[in-house]
Amino acid sequence: NAGLCLHVETLYGDNTHHIIESCFKATARALREAVELDPRAGAEPPSTKGVLGG
């Protein structure tokens, strides 16, 4: 359970099927990038800890 809420905004398009398909594909790619281990970082998952100002 990720416990998140996802909002996807489409900028253009007329074909509902293609719009939905592109939303799912973009979401899948973003999630893969977020959880994929970077061989340069060893076994550490991607993180913004200590990077974001606040």
- Residue 54: pLDDT above 70? no
Q: What is the pLDDT of residue 35?
A: 82
Condensed to tens digits (0 to 9), the pLDDT of residues 2-42 reads 788 889 899 999 999 999 999 999 999 988 888 888 788 77
- Report which residue type is found at 30: A
Among the listed residues 8, 46, 40, 14, the one whose alpha carbon sits nearest the alpha carbon of residue 27? 8
Q: Judge contact between 31 and 43, C-beta under 8 A.
A: no
Q: What is the pLDDT of residue 26?
A: 93
Q: What is the pLDDT of residue 12?
A: 92
The pTM of the whole model exceeds 0.75: no
- Report which residue type is found at 21: E
The single residue listed with the structure tokens 């489409």 is 10
Q: Judge contact between 23 and 8, C-beta under 8 A.
A: yes
Q: What is the pLDDT of residue 49?
A: 75
- Residue ranges in the chain assigned as alpha helix (H): 16-35
